[in-house]
Chains A and B, each alone.
Chain A
Amino acid sequence: MRTSRNQFLLDEEDVPTHWYNILADLDVPSSDVRRARSTPQGAPADRKHSTPNLPLSMYRSSVGTERHVKIPDPVREQYQRWRPTPLVRAHRLEQALDTPAHIYYKYEGANASGSHKLNSALAQAYYYKQAGVQEVTTGTGAGQWGTALSMACHALDLACTVFMVRCSHAQKPYRKVLMELNGARVIPSPSGTTEAGRALIAASPGTDGSVAIANAEALEHARTVDRGAFAVGSGENHVLLHQTVIGEEALLQMELAGEFPDVVIGAMGAGSNFAGLAFPFHREKLRTNARTRLVAVEPDACPKMTRGRYAWDYNDFSGTTPMTKMYTLGHTFVAPGVHAGGLRYHGAAPLVSALYEQGLMEAVAYGQTEVFEAGAFFARAENLVPAPESAHAVKCAIDEAVRAREENEPRVILFNVSGHGLLDLSAYDQYLSGGLEDHRVSDSHIAASLAALPDVPDTNPVGSRS
């Protein structure tokens, strides 16, 4: 094969027919699955009805141990409109770094939503529509998830209401436009439209907002709507399941390239793009005894894996959602307003958390300035501007490549460019003008939010990993 080949492309018939369920290959104690609230806080006293926020069929496939879950034909047909996505050999980046490493990236930004989020948005919209839901509500950080969900809802004739984190609503106005273009109602969060929002505004008028707060508002709003349901873009088992199309395709493409990665890297918000790429490689590691490292990259403004605690915690700010065991900074944690809004969530997905807790993956954290430096370097080398979130993975990949050079040890690096940065150019502008600030969160800030963790037995102290 020509070693200078740039792209490893598949035919649309190669779009996976099944998602990969890591529960078949990961030992998660049954006591560590999601549990309901320890107290009935947050539930309206006069509640008379409850319908699941998740369609039963979607929940069923996400908690079972069936290794491969069939992708519904209508969802796969939607995927075939832009998938398989390309795997690219970053020759120019390798040359710029003068590294013996072979660098590959999986590019998920070429659909209209600009990111990998559409993989789960379409699947979820399908299941919600099948279940008779008429309006889907959600919270979004930088807006990629809200954009994807608005597109998916429009495609399936579902109404959509998106609560967008306030600081990102200001920083990324064109994502709001994209959502509204697809018929969604977009509300900056915290807002005055919900009790949760009003309470937070009263307590902290100048808050930047957070995805946890936006989710709390979206959840509250869903309860007021007939046949409404609240959907999330990351963290939940089913979301990670849907995203494994990324890694399943990448496995085929790496085979075309004749190589297998020594390290697989993804940015870490709640974990959907990292898991989407990494989980299928975890399966292959087990099958072949490969020594591939899986590395999640988070901002030091929201370091849940590297400085958080493995504990039971709520998924939303108001403590209304059932608890999840996860690496968390505490559900009341509000990260500084860095541009990577999609990485500002307080908790890691339970499945990613379990993988990390068991020592089966690694995590690193970087500051905003060095991330944008890496993103700009990549953009110049590869003619592709990565989203600020994806730039975290870029930074880690570059560090791996530099280490390969310094150690004179070739290695194969694979990372996920989960989205493009064309709607984040104001952030790059700020970087170019020297106006970016780093926001490494202090120990006292973390300690304060961890103090608000629900009092549930078997909470592990900070830094403990089995």
Chain B
Amino acid sequence: MLNDDEVTSRVRELMVESLDLRLSPEAIGNEVSLYSPVIQLDSLNLLQLLLAVESEFGGQIEDEDVMEADLENVGDFIGLVRRHVETLRTEAAA
């Protein structure tokens, strides 16, 4: 299973692919707002991105985890995914 840095890197790649962003994954800093003109996240492409994350890492993200997540910037989204992957690691180890 991927380590945290690898997860982070892959999430940035997924964002570029899923949101059709015209910039490199490395250019998406943690502090970039998800609602900036660069990213333009809305409720629909957030859902599409979450499904892409599930397809990539496996498992299903809980509805309440999405609702509870305070998604302001890229770092917040990466945090949500890292928590999901950590949950998968824990379940796999159990």
Contacts and interface: CB of A to CB of B under 8 A. Distances in A.
B87 interface: no
A210 B63 CA distance: 31
Nearest to B70: A49
Given A131-B67, A227-B67, A52 B37 contact: no
Contacts of B72: 48-49
26 contacts: A36-B40, A36-B42, A40-B40, A43-B40, A48-B33, A49-B71, A49-B72, A50-B34, A50-B43, A50-B71, A51-B46, A51-B66, A51-B71, A52-B44, A55-B67, A56-B47, A56-B50, A56-B63, A60-B54, A63-B51, A127-B63, A130-B64, A131-B63, A131-B67, A132-B64, A133-B67
Interface string B40-63: 111111110011001000001101
Interface in A6-34: 34
A227 B66 CA distance: 12
B61 A50 contact: no
Contacts of B33: 48
A63 B67 CA distance: 20
A50 B42 contact: yes
A133 B64 CA distance: 9
Contacts, number: 77
Interface residues of B, number: 25
Contact of A50 (B46, B54, B63, B68): B46
Interface in A76-126: none
Contacts of A54: 43, 47
Contacts of B50: 52, 56
Interface string A390-433: 00000000000000000000000000000000000000000000
A368 B5 CA distance: 63
A57 B70 CA distance: 19
The number of chain A residues touching the other chain, given as a range, is 20 to 34
Nearest to A129: B63
B58 to A, nearest CB: 14
Closest 7 CB pairs of A and B: A131-B63, A322-B44, A132-B67, A55-B63, A52-B43, A47-B35, A36-B45
A260 interface: no
Contacts of A132: 63-64, 67-68
Contacts of A55: 63, 66-67
B57 to A, nearest CB: 14
Nearest to B19: A36
A337 B41 CA distance: 36
B66 A131 contact: yes
